[in-house]
Structure 1
Amino acid sequence: MHLFNNSNKMFFYFILFFSTLISISSNSWFGCWIGLEINLLSFIPLISNSNNLLSSEASLKYFLTQSIASINFLFFIIFKMIFFKNFEFNNLFSLMINSSLYMKMGSVPFHFWFPNITEGLSWLNCFILMTWQKISPMILLSYYFNKNFLIIIMILNTIIGAIGGLNQTSLRKLMAFSSINNLGWMLSTILISENLLMFYFLMYSFLISIMCFSFFMLNLYYINQLFIFNLNSMIKLSLFINFLSLGGLPPFIGFFPKWIIINFLILNKMFFMTLIFIMTSLIMLIFYIRIIYSNFLLNYFKLKWFKTNINNHMFYFINLFSLISLLGMIFSTFFFF
Structure 2
Amino acid sequence: ITPASMMIIFLSITIGTIMTMSSSNWLMAWIGLELNMLAILPIISKPKTTRASEATTKYFLTQAIASAMMLLASTINAWQTGNWHILELKNKFSTTIMALSLMMKMGAAPFHFWLPEVLQGTTLQTALLITTWQKIAPITLMYMISNSIQPTILVSAGVLSMIIGGLGGINQTQLRKTMAYSSINNLGWTITIMAFSPNMALMNILIYIIMATPIFLMMTSASTKTLQNLSTTWTTSMTMTISIALLMLSTSGLPPFTGFMPKMLILNELISHKLTTLATLAI
Q: Distance in 2 between matches of 1:6 and 1:168?
A: 35
Q: Distance in 2 between matches of 1:82 and 1:100?
A: 19
Which of 206, 220, 230 in structure 2 is aligned with 1:202? 206
Q: How does 1:20-35 map to 2 (within 5 A)?
A: 20-35=17-32
Q: Do structure 1's residue 264 and structure 2's residue 264 form an aligned pair?
A: no
Q: Which range is displaced more, 114-123 or 51-60?
A: 51-60
Equivalent position SS for 1:210: helix
Q: How does 1:16-55 map to 2 (within 5 A)?
A: 16-49=13-46, 51-55=48-52
Q: Which range is displaced more, 134-143 or 235-244?
A: 235-244
Q: Do structure 1's residue 93 and structure 2's residue 94 form an aligned pair?
A: yes
Q: Do structure 1's residue 187 and structure 2's residue 191 form an aligned pair?
A: yes
Q: Distance in 2 between matches of 1:201 and 1:83?
A: 33
Equivalent position SS for 1:250: coil
Contact 2:159 2:192 in 1 (8 A): no
Contact 1:157 1:180 in 2 (8 A): yes
Q: Distance in 1 between matches of 2:264 and 2:49?
A: 42
Contact 1:69 1:103 in 2 (8 A): yes
Deviation at residue 163 of structure 1 after TM alignment? 0.7
Runs of 5+ consecutive residues of structure 1 not aligned to the other structure: 279-337
Q: Distance in 1 between matches of 2:95 and 2:270?
A: 24
RMSD: 2.0
Deviation at residue 96 of structure 1 after TM alignment? 1.1
Q: Distance in 2 between matches of 1:110 and 1:217?
A: 31
Residue 163 (structure 2) aligns with = 159
Q: What is the CA deviation profile of residues 155-178 of structure 1, one whole-angstrom value per residue up to 9, with x for unaligned ones?
A: 111001001111211110110000
Deviation at residue 84 of structure 1 after TM alignment? 7.2
Deviation at residue 194 of structure 1 after TM alignment? 4.2
Runs of 5+ consecutive residues of structure 2 not aligned to the other structure: 83-87
Q: Do structure 1's residue 170 and structure 2's residue 171 form an aligned pair?
A: no
Q: Which amino acid is the alignment partner of residue 113 of structure 2?
A: F
Q: How does 1:120-135 map to 2 (within 5 A)?
A: 120-135=121-136
Q: What is the CA deviation profile of residues 108-155 of structure 1, one whole-angstrom value per residue up to 9, with x for unaligned ones?
A: 111111110000111111111111111111111122222111111111
Q: Do structure 1's residue 72 and structure 2's residue 76 form an aligned pair?
A: no
Equivalent position SS for 2:172: coil
Residue 276 (structure 1) aligns with = 281
Which of 135, 154, 179 in structure 2 is aligned with 1:150? 154
Which of 11, 20, 25 in structure 2 is aligned with 1:14? 11
Between the aligned residues of both structures, percent identity stands at 35
Q: Distance in 1 between matches of 2:77 and 2:209?
A: 35
Deviation at residue 248 of structure 1 after TM alignment? 0.9
Q: Do structure 1's residue 119 and structure 2's residue 123 form an aligned pair?
A: no
Deviation at residue 60 of structure 1 after TM alignment? 1.5
Deviation at residue 269 of structure 1 after TM alignment? 1.2
Residue 224 (structure 1) aligns with = 228
Q: What is the CA deviation profile of residues 248-302 of structure 1, one whole-angstrom value per residue up to 9, with x for unaligned ones?
A: 1111111111111111111111111111111xxxxxxxxxxxxxxxxxxxxxxxx
Q: Distance in 1 between matches of 2:36 and 2:262?
A: 28
Contact 2:193 2:270 in 1 (8 A): no
Deviation at residue 231 of structure 1 after TM alignment? 4.0
Residue 85 (structure 2) aligns with = none
Q: Distance in 2 between matches of 1:189 and 1:83?
A: 29
Contact 1:220 1:226 in 2 (8 A): yes
Contact 1:33 1:74 in 2 (8 A): yes
Q: Which amino acid is the alignment partner of residue 270 of structure 1?
A: L
Contact 1:211 1:242 in 2 (8 A): yes
Contact 2:155 2:192 in 1 (8 A): yes
Contact 1:98 1:146 in 2 (8 A): no
Contact 1:108 1:160 in 2 (8 A): yes
Deviation at residue 188 of structure 1 after TM alignment? 3.0
Classify 1:50/1:240 alpha carbon distance in 2 versus 1 (closer, same or farther; 3 Å): closer
Q: Which amino acid is the alignment partner of residue 104 of structure 1?
A: K
Contact 1:40 1:63 in 2 (8 A): yes
Q: What is the CA deviation profile of residues 174-229 of structure 1, one whole-angstrom value per residue up to 9, with x for unaligned ones?
A: 10000000001112342344443332222111111111011111111111223445
Q: Which amino acid is the alignment partner of residue 66 of structure 2?
A: A
Q: Do structure 1's residue 82 and structure 2's residue 87 form an aligned pair?
A: no
Equivalent position SS for 1:251: coil
User: Matched residue pairs, number?
Assistant: 273
Query: TM-score if structure 1 supplies the norm length?
Result: 0.76
Contact 2:106 2:134 in 1 (8 A): yes
Contact 1:84 1:93 in 2 (8 A): no
Deviation at residue 50 of structure 1 after TM alignment? 5.7
Deviation at residue 76 of structure 1 after TM alignment? 2.4
